[in-house]
Structures are given as structure tokens and as C-alpha cells.
Amino acid sequence: MSGFNLDDYIRKVPDFPKKGILFYDITSILASPAAFQHCIDSMVSIYKDKSIEAVAAIEARGFLFAAPFAIVMKIPLIPIRKKGKLPGITLSKKYILEYAQAEIEVHREDVPAGKRVLIMDDLIATGGTLGAARSLLEAGGAKVPEIFGVLGLPFLGYEKILAPTPVTTLIRYNNESL
């Protein structure tokens, strides 16, 4: 898809979820088979030679991109969920949101000790959830060589939070203006 402009498929919604916030909505990518396929093809192209042995996806929209990626790459998909959504023995990590605290979990037995696990989400904003996911996976013995997001908002400081782990995105927005 030479010349494909993914930005054309990202809906920008001003003042959502509250006044002063510009929301970048990826559901318009999912509504376009061509845009969705472009994302999956691009992700596979980026990672096909990087010895990724599993992909961990952040609930919920990270699942939408990681699942087809895992199938094409023939690697396991590890769901990282909000607290209380997984049965059995889990590893959990609390982290700070803008004005609150949250907690995510992963099944302990799903974390492949010693293996290279790519963490994936749809959008990377502050990096808090992804940083917590990295901590969870590393606590279970996995190696996290890189973090991936379809969209990145580096003006919110995620690169500092996620350092030294490299972060790759298909598209980056460097400020909040349209």
C-alpha cells in the first residue's frame, strides 16, 4: 500500500471525554478493511525479523490489533486485563492514572519466562499502562525488547516513562492541535 496515509483513517474528536481533550479514535481504522489490513501488514513487516516470541496485548483495543498479528506471526497472544477479569493465579501491577490508581493482571502461567515478548496497544499516551505491563511481564521472567502502538502521542511524555525500552508506532502526533 504505497502512499497509504493512515492519518486519513483516524477520527479526531475535540472535547472528548472532557473539554480541552483531543481524542484520537482508532475505531475508524477498524471500520476500514484497507486501513486495518495496512496496520497488520505494517506491524508484521516491522517485526518479522526481530525474534519476537509472543505478543502481550492491553485490554481492550490492544487485543484488536494483537490478535491478527499473533496469528500471522504464529506466536502466542498474552492478554493483559483489568483487575478481576482473569480466573486463576495472576500477576498484578498497580499504576497511577491521571487522577486515580488502576491495576492490571496477567495469568502467571501465560508469561513465557526467558522469551521475548512484544507489548502492544492501540494508542500510547502517557505510557503508564504499558510501563505497568512491562513490569508484570518482567516479574514473570519475560524479556520485553520493544513496545508497539498504532498511534503515539509523544507530547504526553511516554518515551521518558517507557525508557529504556524502544517504542515504535505507525503514526505519531506531536501536539494536540488539529
In a domain, 155, yes or no: yes
Q: Which of 152, 70, 81 is nearest to 117 (CA)?
A: 70
> Pick the catalytic residue: 53, 59, 61, 116?
61
Q: Does the annotation mark 61 as catalytic?
A: yes
- The more confident residue out of 16 and 55 is 55
CA separation for the pair 121, 12 (Å, rounded): 18
pLDDT tens, position by position, 90-140: 999 999 876 779 999 999 999 999 999 999 999 999 999 999 999 999 999
Q: Specify the number of domains making up the chain.
A: 1
In a domain, 86, yes or no: yes
57 forms bridges with which residues in the sheet?
A: 79, 120
Q: Does the annotation mark 59 as catalytic?
A: no
In a domain, 43, yes or no: no
- The more confident residue out of 178 and 172 is 172
In a domain, 21, yes or no: no
In a domain, 153, yes or no: yes
In a domain, 4, yes or no: no
Residue ranges with strand state E in 22-146: 22-25, 54-58, 77-82, 90-96, 101-107, 117-124
Full-model pTM: 0.94
pLDDT of residue 177: 54
List the domain range (segments joined by +) for residue 85: 50-172
In a domain, 39, yes or no: no
| pLDDT higher than threshold 70 for residue 33 | yes
Domain CATH for 95: 3.40.50.2020
How would you classify residue 99: left for phi > 0, otherwise alpha for psi between -120 and 50, otherwise beta? alpha
> Pick the catalytic residue: 53, 59, 81, 98?
98
Q: What percent of the chain has pLDDT over 90?
A: 87
In a domain, 110, yes or no: yes
